[in-house]
């Protein structure tokens, strides 16, 4: 079962310029008939030496799920001169354990207003974790013992950075709006 995507989501996919029909089809399939109540489309371009790689992250919010789609350029070869790999994930809102929002404001004294220059949205649902290890040590500078390792385990599901300088103020405001919509949807299920 598929669903027709809202016009504003289709417009944002078109504006991203990165295979909008493929993105729309994959998202619609993952929605399984549910209506979209909020969305965020984040195009990224990275440079790897002489290679230019495009990436698109699309978040689509329904009353019960968060659908995340990632579109990536795949390295071309003789048999496949151009490929796009799409990975989608459908997360029940009840699984979302935490929402984070990091905001950076310009501190220029001449700046008018207090709008964010940059935001990072963090969403954790226990899907993946990042482990950072380092050698453990003690206070004794003469100690030769092996103290093993110490480390930190952190949730690492999704972090999206949006910059007004790189993406425009409208993109920062869209990210803030989506954060509010997602927080409201998660809260509504807890009541």
Report the run of H or E that residue 57 belongs to, with start and end.
strand 51-61
- Per-residue pLDDT of 12-28, as tens digits, reads 999 999 999 999 999 99
Q: Can you give 17-59 as a three-state secondary structure string? A: CCCHHHHHHHHHHHHCCCCCCEEEEEEEEEEECCEEEEEEEEE
Q: What is the pLDDT of residues 103-154, one digit of tens each?
A: 998 877 666 566 889 999 999 997 766 667 788 888 888 888 888 887 766 6
pLDDT surpassing 70 at residue 187: yes
Which one, of 96, 152, 100, lies nearest residue 126 by Cα? 96
pLDDT one-digit tens code per residue, 59-118? 999 999 999 999 998 766 667 667 889 999 999 999 999 999 999 988 776 665 668 899
Q: Greater confidence, 35 or 134?
A: 35
Contact 70, 55 (CB under 8 A): yes
Find all residues with CB under 8 Å of 10, minimum gap 6, and list them: 20, 24
Given a cut of 60, is residue 159 above it in pLDDT?
Answer: yes
Region 38-62: what's the mean pLDDT? 87
Q: Does 34 score more than 90 pLDDT?
A: yes
Give the pLDDT of residue 86: 94
Eight-state DSSP code of residue 113: S
Contact 153, 131 (CB under 8 A): yes
Distance of alpha carbon 191 from alpha carbon 42, whole angstroms: 31
Residue 2 has pLDDT above 60, yes or no: no
The whole-number pLDDT of residue 20 equals 94
30 neighbors 3 (Cβ within 8 angstroms): no
How much is the pLDDT for 110?
Answer: 64
């Amino acid at each position: 079962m598929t669903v027709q995507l809202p016009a504003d989501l289709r417009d944002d996919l078109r504006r991203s310029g990165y295979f909008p029909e493929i993105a729309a089809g994959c998202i619609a399939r993952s929605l399984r008939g549910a209506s979209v109540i909020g969305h965020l489309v984040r195009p990224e371009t990275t440079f790897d030496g002489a290679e230019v790689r495009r990436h698109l992250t699309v978040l689509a919010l329904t009353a019960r799920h968060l659908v995340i789609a990632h579109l990536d350029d795949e390295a071309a070869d003789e048999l496949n001169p151009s490929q796009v790999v799409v990975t989608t994930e459908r997360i029940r809102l009840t699984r979302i354990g935490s929402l984070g929002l990091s905001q950076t404001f310009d501190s220029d004294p001449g700046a008018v207003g207090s709008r964010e220059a940059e935001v990072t949205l963090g969403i954790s649902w226990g899907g993946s974790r990042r482990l950072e290890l380092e050698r453990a040590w003690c206070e004794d500078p003469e100690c030769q013992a092996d103290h093993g390792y110490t480390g930190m385990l952190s949730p690492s599901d999704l972090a999206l950075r949006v910059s007004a300088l790189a993406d425009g103020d409208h993109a920062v405001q869209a990210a803030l709006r989506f954060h509010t919509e997602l927080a409201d949807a998660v809260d509504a299920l807890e009541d």
